[in-house]
């Protein structure tokens, strides 16, 4: 699968995840989505807070801010229901490596 094909699949899956969240009474805002390499460095290069191999740079990762009943939820456990759903779609949930608000698709061996 090409990078472009993977990006289009990721976008479709993110839409399903957002709908799933809202159906269960959560609300979301975007945290980090795309990390522009002009600001964060190219893949393999670390600039600022961004990981050198971040899938955000390939448009294959998103971080969400999670809310329920107007309250901002920050613990990894708060994201578990969404993370498990995301994994059922074939995605990688950051909660498995202590980054609960992170949702990505593996690419080039990177998660």
Residue 110, domain member (yes or no):
no
- Phi, psi (5° rounding) for residue 110? -100, 145
Mean pLDDT, rounded, of the chain? 87
Cβ-based neighbour number of residue 32 at 10 Å: 16
How many domains are contained in the chain? 1
Residue 109, domain member (yes or no):
no
Question: In which domain, by residue range, is 96 found?
Answer: 3-104
pTM, full prediction: 0.84
Residue 111, domain member (yes or no):
no
In the predicted model, is pLDDT for residue 46 greater than 60? no
Residue 91, domain member (yes or no):
yes
Residue 96, domain member (yes or no):
yes
Tokens coding 65: 């801010």
Q: Cα separation of 49 and 101, whole Å? A: 16
Q: What is the CATH number of the domain that holds 87?
A: 3.30.1380.10
In the predicted model, is pLDDT for residue 101 greater than 70? yes
Strand partners, 68: 26, 71
Tokens coding 70: 């107007």
Residue 56, domain member (yes or no):
yes
Pick from 43, 63, 53: nearest CA to 111: 53
Query: Between residues 54 and 106, which one has the greater pLDDT?
Result: 106
10-19 pLDDT, tens digit per residue, is 999 999 999 9
Is the Cβ–Cβ distance between 32 and 56 less than 8 Å? yes
């Amino acid at each position: 699968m090409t990078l472009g094909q993977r990006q289009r699949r990721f976008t479709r899956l993110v839409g399903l995840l957002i709908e799933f969240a809202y159906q269960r009474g959560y609300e979301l805002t975007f945290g980090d989505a795309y990390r522009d390499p002009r600001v964060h460095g190219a893949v393999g290069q670390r600039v600022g807070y961004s990981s050198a191999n971040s899938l955000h740079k390939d448009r294959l990762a998103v971080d969400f801010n999670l809310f329920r009943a107007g309250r901002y939820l920050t613990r990894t456990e708060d994201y578990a229901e969404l993370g498990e759903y995301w994994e059922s779609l074939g995605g990688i949930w950051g909660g498995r490596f202590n980054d609960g608000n992170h949702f990505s698709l593996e690419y080039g061996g990177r998660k």
